[in-house]
Structure 1
Amino acid sequence: MTKSIALRSSQPRRMSREEKSRETYRLILEAAAQVVGSEGYADASISKITQLAGIAQGTFYNYFKSRQDVLNKLLPYMGRQMLDHIATSLPRDLTGSEREKARLLAFLEYLNTHPAFYRILYEAEVFAPEAHAEHFRVLVNGYKGSLGRAVERGEIQGFDEAELEAVIYMLLSARSYISMHYARDDNGRAKAVPAHVIQAYMKILTRGLFSPS
């Protein structure tokens, strides 16, 4: 029997000092996400984070001033990652309520692959309030831009700017509670959201926010 021979991959390009620095910064935050996701903010020590990241504790202080500093930067980091995932998942030709449906599904998909985000988000209000406030500022401002473009296209009618801001918090709340109640089983494992839940969400959008004035 002839043995298969694995092809040698080309020698990886050596990273520049700046690239190494960015990668180390990312590794620390990813390790912090795993630690906080499994043990919570209160038990997330620098030693646990650096051990998981595979770096010396001294190296940690080249990137973050303190334990609280990395905790303050964790949720905004994960939030930007989540928004990037949603943005790249949305087909460009989608508009109106179908775009909001795709946004919800992309959010749920991100949570399925990043289950630590649940705990990072919900404990942040107590353990990293600055990060929690920044995260929601970014979410709301991004949503304002999206719904503002929908208004310009004539997809949304009859809502003034103040009302649309209230709608944004309603949509964010719906997304959050749908994920908590329907996207996890009793053991905390990811599961598919039932079709009737998505259908109910879409009825609210098509008969409310995106209905003709």
Structure 2
Amino acid sequence: MKPQAPVKLKRTREAKGEDTRLALFEAAVQVVGEEGYAGAGIAKIMARANLASGTFYNYFESRQDLFNQLLPALGERLLAHIRGRIDDSVAGIEREKQRIEAYFDFCRKTPGFLRVLNEAEVFAPEAFHKHIRRFQDGYRRSLIRSHSRGEIAGWELEEIDVLVFMLMGLRSYMTMLYQYEYIDPRKSNIESMINIYAKLLKNGLFSK
């Protein structure tokens, strides 16, 4: 029987390699969040990660390769965060509230995320569209489940895809209020915004 030590050593190296890769992603999120993609040079990212510059090419072919992977990796973290914050026992409008509360909680805990997302369409378009499609698919499946349970009244299944992008658009502009304070912060704090969002979804906008 072959000794198991080499296998254990290999796994340890793989784990360390993944830790380093995640550290590079985290450093890139911080640097892009502060200086944008244009200012996020390899040297700055490596310095933030406290790693030697040459280490970078063990994990990425180029700076653009890192940019192309950055938003999708962040998106997976965001989805995992949202899933972990949703109570499986709730449904309908309460589930939607929990989903958007988790989204803003992630934004608060990951301040570089919004700039990574907002600039990606120009600096990493493949990553941007991959991220949008990933969220479109998840949102679509969620709304179809709600529709099948009778939680969404008055809508046809073929209208779900358009509804998905409308809701994603609402969240995007709510994020601008959170990030840039276009109106008095006392009137646009996260809790009040989420309550207004839920009221809009529940009651609609026009009575006639």
Instruction: Decide: shared fold, TM above 0.5.
Output: yes
Taking the TM superposition and a 5 Å limit, the aligned residue runs for 1:137-176 are: 137-176=133-172
Q: Of 27, 32, 42, which residue of structure 2 is paired with 1:31?
A: 27
CA distance in 1 between partners of 2:180 and 2:82 (Å): 20
- Note the residue ranges of structure 1 that are not aligned, 5 or more in a row: 1-13, 209-213
Q: Of 78, 81, 86, which residue of structure 2 is paired with 1:82?
A: 78
RMSD: 2.1
Match of 2:102 in 1: 106
Aligned sequence identity (%): 45
Offset of 1:184 from its aligned partner?
5.0
Match of 1:17 in 2: 13
CA distance in 2 between partners of 1:68 and 1:105 (Å): 32
Offset of 1:115 from its aligned partner?
1.2
Q: Classify the secondary structure of the residue corresponding to 2:39.
A: coil
CA distance in 1 between partners of 2:136 and 2:192 (Å): 27
Taking the TM superposition and a 5 Å limit, the aligned residue runs for 1:1-213 are: 16-182=12-178, 185=181, 193=189, 195-208=191-204
The structure with the largest helix share of the pair is 2
Instruction: Assess if the C-alpha contact under 8 Å between 1:96 and 1:155 holds in 2.
Output: yes
Instruction: Assess if the C-alpha contact under 8 Å between 2:177 and 2:188 holds in 1.
Output: no
- Note the residue ranges of structure 2 that are not aligned, 5 or more in a row: 1-8
| 1:168–1:115 distance in 2 versus 1, CA, 3 Å | same
Offset of 1:193 from its aligned partner?
2.0
Offset of 1:198 from its aligned partner?
2.4
TM-score by length of 2: 0.85
Match of 2:6 in 1: none
Q: Classify the secondary structure of the residue corresponding to 2:38.
A: coil
Q: Deviations 1:81-138 (Å, cap 9, x if unpaired)? A: 1111111001111100110011111111111111111111110010010000000010
Instruction: Assess if the C-alpha contact under 8 Å between 2:181 and 2:188 holds in 1.
Output: no
Instruction: Assess if the C-alpha contact under 8 Å between 2:104 and 2:190 holds in 1.
Output: no
